Amino acid sequence: MGTKSKKKKPDNKTGQIRSARPRRPMNPYIVLAVAIVLPGVGQVLNNTPLRGLIMVFFMIVGAWICFHTTTPEHSFLGRYAGGWFIYAMSILDAYRWARHRSEYAKVHGLKNPDDLQ
């Protein structure tokens, strides 16, 4: 007769199917470098893509508000100060969480700190 193929079942509450090999957290300095060059991608590397998208959204909103509330006499940095501020905070946030994940993995001997979250 026929054999039934076994489907992979999700192993967590979100319905995601995890790979057999958990990955190690990225080096915090690599995440920092990527976050400086590509806004919001540092959070994506930390497995928080929604947070990265929110950061980029507020960078654009902050820059837009500052641009429309300043005069042409202000400098480029001053005209987009709201966006630059959120950009700086997103860099610090990406590095801080990458450092936390890395230290957590070292202390608990995990290859992937998301396993316990």
Tokens of 30: 């690599």
Q: How far apart are CA 40 and CA 52, in angstroms?
A: 4
- pTM for the full model? 0.71
Is residue 110 pLDDT above 90, yes or no? no
Q: pLDDT, tens digit, for every residue of 46-69?
A: 989 999 999 999 999 999 999 999
Do residues 39 and 55 make contact, with C-beta atoms less than 8 angstroms apart?
yes
Do residues 76 and 69 make contact, with C-beta atoms less than 8 angstroms apart?
no
Instruction: Indicate the average pLDDT of the chain.
Output: 82
Q: How far apart are CA 23 and CA 105, in angstroms?
A: 11
Per-residue pLDDT band for 19 (boundaries 50, 70, 90) equals: low
Per-residue pLDDT band for 5 (boundaries 50, 70, 90) equals: low
Is residue 2 pLDDT above 60, yes or no? no
DSSP string, 41-71: HHHHHTT-HHHHHHHHHHHHHHHHHHHHHS-
Tokens of 34: 């990527």
Non-local (6+) Cβ contacts of 114 within 8 A are 22, 47
